[in-house]
Structure 1
């Protein structure tokens, strides 16, 4: 799982380019801190050598003051650099998190059907959190620590080539050992991130379906699967931890070897009289100081091994192309839209056709009633109209414009769909109806609510349009949620409205209340009604009956009703609910 350097560079370039000033300041502070770390051992050597031969304490006071002053300034510099580095990482990871979330929202339904919500959340949040240090100060800290090591080696070479060469051999050995352990540990972190995503995907899915789980007595099954995940997770986590532990133990061993080399070389040079006791202490100080950057480099490598796995997974997600591509921008005309399907074929899976040879034309302003048994392709037809999926063959045109040529935003503004499953989001009444479109005035929203018969419900809201609705529609009846969905359609003013069994959850009283509003909604608009009640399709101009993904019957509703041999006529005689059961 080795990531090419160009991918690291691309991520850093894309998400740090707007923070150049902060990066310059961070670099300057880290270099200043590096310089002070190199100066302090020189001050200590001067202090020790002066203490041995000085007749007055003046030199000692000066050295002590310099050491304390440099140490204080160094701590201040460290605090400021940590603050700037964390801020850089926060801004960069939030930008990346936003880009990944936006990319997921652009992906078509086939992606979301094949990935659980929890797995996607783990990608958007968990993987990106693992990159926080990578963005905040990874490169700068790594370079500054490497420069610190090089600076120490240069100063040691100045003191003597023997001590300089010995410590250089130690550093090369240390870097090689750490890199070798890192290569061993990387794959385990990748597998750990993957099973983490699977686990949270499973957990999110079953927490969302708690009521069904308990109602069907499936709690034991869910818990069995839960513990199965934990049993699978544990050995992978152990291997990942062992990789971290191996790096930690390797660092301890390496530092011990470094101290032994420094001790041996210092003893040899001191016995020869080549160095003073102050220089001996300085060599030890530099050796101990060298342990810090090597330890930081090890930590950076540990973070990098986590980042490696996360970068791969995020890169794979960002490289996932939506199966539904945006159009070239051909505008859809205003007003009611004509609908034309020309030999449309579609299947969710290769070799299993869902819709076959669908061919019909619906004039602008007309209402089409779509009937068929469960699984006949009614809802799939609606999804194709909104380009949640694209057909494998054939073409769909709205007022002569192929929907592949229109932008997705334009298409989904001009075509609106209301389903029987209504999503109510945590937020205000206004935001749930307008989806944060500030261009829609409040008086228009209130007017639509009143027109739909929601005057009393709206009057009961404590803060009016600013009242907060619960996620999932808690506190709302099915009828009220359905009527709010109709209000959304009214506010977007589309040219084509698709009602996918939108009144199936309504009680008769609420359905009657809705009828008048639906009549107004359909004025100067084309409508496709997917229904399983006779009353719903009585307003249709045309009838389309699907069977096993094919057109079983299509024609004028009145003509089909008057034809004793038509399927629609038999449905009317038998009872629609019985025929479609």
Structure 2
């Protein structure tokens, strides 16, 4: 998908849809739901049979009571015959017990189905979001992704595991109850049917209004999660720049919006619940009045009247469950729309259908009329023609926004060129499999992210099959072994979340060791020494030279001490290479790089 699609998915969090857009989103959500349920057809069929039989047994009870009062009890009084009474009691217990047992089985089956579906959906979201290109993740905030995996999935699980099962049971019980009532006393059945019009109007009003309300709550809920996650993730910057009070105000505003949105939905229930109770009471009153008149003239037995009243009550009683389902349904539908939107996204950088075998890699890179922009309105690189020979160390310098990191991202194939070709050893990067590409090209960023786990496990990301000796050798090669051995458990030290047990400079050294172990043909260092202080930077200069030896290296750095080890310097300005040569050549020419170099030397003195 294009970047427009990415922005469109995020827009679902705050966009008012046209009718066509709403239909498209609904179809997309139904496709997702169908794909999730399809593998469990047999389990769904068994669950359906169990709940149908259970509901049918539950609907028989009042008819047995009517028979007991009108037939079995008079036999006991007039003839002393207890057989019908005992029989009807046993039948009532058997029907009630059987219905309860089947209902219990139904609860177990629906729980099994729900957990299976949620496992598939949760795994699918995680797997899919990992596969999506960097373009998606740079445009889609982490808070929204977390919202998809947490609150949205919880809403869907609540629907499938609780409210939906209650709805199915309530609807089936209502259908069987109405059918039994009409068979027992069709006139009382007419009372219930006559309440269908106001009942339908009430439920339709609630569905329309709650759909709007729940979409609003999902939007504000996502904003709430985003606000919290981003504040906690950037807590150092928050405290460093004293943003606590401002963040308090912003979070309070979003929390207030969330409270108001939820109150709007709750107010809808303030109309629906009393409305259902009122319609139920009116129906019971009408059935009782009409039935009492017929009992007086002898056309209706007392037992039948009692059974009819029980049926009327049983018909309206489960409607409360329908209301609760509508509550969960609207929340789940809104959540399903968001989740299906993410799952509809396609990677903008995809593996080729028929990849070219790369073989041994020399590391020669060629930009052939490459142009690129992050959107259709902005061009970052324009007709770039550039060749980097295998084994050459090239430094990219220039002002912020000159296009250095964009150039590196294209080489790492985080993005594809808008036009032109980027070749590795004469092969278009778009024709390489992801396995070959990641084996050949590795990028070390300024962030130097460490995952929860041991130091050794983090280094081994560069080569999961590496032995302990190879891991330690990689660490020694970049000068990381000494500080690692001073950690509490050496290479087995748990770095904690995001590398909290090691300093920024030490994290960077671990990332260097990871890259060294990966042994790529092309290595990209994107501001990779920015986290190091001057003593640490001097310490790793030799390690950097060992790291960069015998491979093509692209170094993006503002610190010209790092640039000094380069064979070649490319000075970029407004997406173009404006100077190209060795560091000594460019210094002697008196151009942009020469001015940067003099300014750097003066800063040291």
Q: Normalising to structure 1: TM-score of the pair?
A: 0.90
Check the 8 A contact 2:164/2:325 in 1, yes or no. no
Shift of 1:484: 1.0
Aligned match of 2:460: 434
Indicate yes or no: 2:414 matched with 1:388: yes
Worse-superposed segment, 319-328 or 399-408:
319-328
Q: Structure 1 residues 51, 135: closer, same or farther in 2, change over 3 A?
A: same
Q: Structure 1 residues 414, 244: closer, same or farther in 2, change over 3 A?
A: farther
CA distance in 2, matches of 1:435, 1:39: 64
Find 2:190's aligned residue among 153, 160, 165: 165
Aligned match of 1:548: 574
Find 1:313's aligned residue among 309, 319, 338: 338
Q: Structure 1 residues 571, 167: closer, same or farther in 2, change over 3 A?
A: closer
Q: Structure 1 residues 120, 461: closer, same or farther in 2, change over 3 A?
A: same
Q: Structure 1 residues 447, 274: closer, same or farther in 2, change over 3 A?
A: farther
Deviations 1:511-551 (A, max 9, x none): 34433433333233211111233332233222111123321
Indicate yes or no: 2:50 matched with 1:29: yes
User: Helix, strand or coil for the counterpart of 1:244?
Assistant: helix
User: Helix, strand or coil for the counterpart of 1:84?
Assistant: helix
Aligned match of 2:564: 538
Find 1:487's aligned residue among 509, 513, 516: 513
Aligned match of 1:199: 224
User: Helix, strand or coil for the counterpart of 1:343?
Assistant: strand
| 1:514-533 alignment runs, 5 A limit | 514-533=540-559
Shift of 1:499: 0.9
Indicate yes or no: 2:395 matched with 1:369: yes
Shift of 1:233: 2.8
Shift of 1:342: 2.4
Shift of 1:243: 2.3
Find 1:189's aligned residue among 214, 221, 244: 214
Shift of 1:191: 0.8
CA distance in 1, matches of 2:233, 2:403: 27
Q: Structure 1 residues 133, 568: closer, same or farther in 2, change over 3 A?
A: closer
Find 2:156's aligned residue among 124, 131, 147: 131
CA distance in 1, matches of 2:325, 2:168: 11
Aligned match of 1:262: 287
Shift of 1:438: 4.9
Check the 8 A contact 1:396/1:402 in 2, yes or no. yes
Deviations 1:481-514 (A, max 9, x none): 1111012212322221001121232234433443
Aligned match of 2:65: 44
Gaps of 5+ in 1: none
Q: Structure 1 residues 152, 505: closer, same or farther in 2, change over 3 A?
A: closer
Check the 8 A contact 2:443/2:523 in 1, yes or no. yes
| 1:74-223 alignment runs, 5 A limit | 74-136=99-161, 142-171=167-196, 173-223=198-248
Worse-superposed segment, 345-354 or 543-552:
345-354
Aligned match of 1:337: 363
Q: Structure 1 residues 409, 288: closer, same or farther in 2, change over 3 A?
A: farther
Check the 8 A contact 1:336/1:524 in 2, yes or no. no
Check the 8 A contact 2:29/2:337 in 1, yes or no. no
User: Helix, strand or coil for the counterpart of 1:130?
Assistant: helix
CA distance in 1, matches of 2:547, 2:188: 88
User: Helix, strand or coil for the counterpart of 1:376?
Assistant: coil
Shift of 1:116: 2.5
CA distance in 2, matches of 1:73, 1:439: 58
Aligned match of 1:238: 263
Check the 8 A contact 2:185/2:308 in 1, yes or no. no
Q: Normalising to structure 2: TM-score of the pair?
A: 0.87
User: Helix, strand or coil for the counterpart of 2:191?
Assistant: helix
Q: Structure 1 residues 212, 338: closer, same or farther in 2, change over 3 A?
A: same
CA distance in 2, matches of 1:436, 1:365: 20
Shift of 1:204: 1.2
Gaps of 5+ in 2: 1-16
Indicate yes or no: 2:405 matched with 1:379: yes
Shift of 1:439: 3.4
CA distance in 2, matches of 1:8, 1:532: 48
Check the 8 A contact 1:335/1:525 in 2, yes or no. no
Check the 8 A contact 1:89/1:133 in 2, yes or no. no
Check the 8 A contact 1:120/1:201 in 2, yes or no. no
Q: Structure 1 residues 210, 192: closer, same or farther in 2, change over 3 A?
A: same
Shift of 1:185: 1.6
CA distance in 2, matches of 1:26, 1:418: 53
CA distance in 1, matches of 2:491, 2:196: 66
Aligned match of 2:7: none
User: Helix, strand or coil for the counterpart of 2:195?
Assistant: helix
Q: Structure 1 residues 44, 88: closer, same or farther in 2, change over 3 A?
A: same
Indicate yes or no: 2:505 matched with 1:505: no
CA distance in 1, matches of 2:492, 2:84: 72
Deviations 1:380-404 (A, max 9, x none): 2212222323333332211112223
User: Helix, strand or coil for the counterpart of 1:36?
Assistant: helix
Indicate yes or no: 2:354 matched with 1:291: no
Deviations 1:70-126 (A, max 9, x none): 333433332332232123212212321222233333333343333322122112221
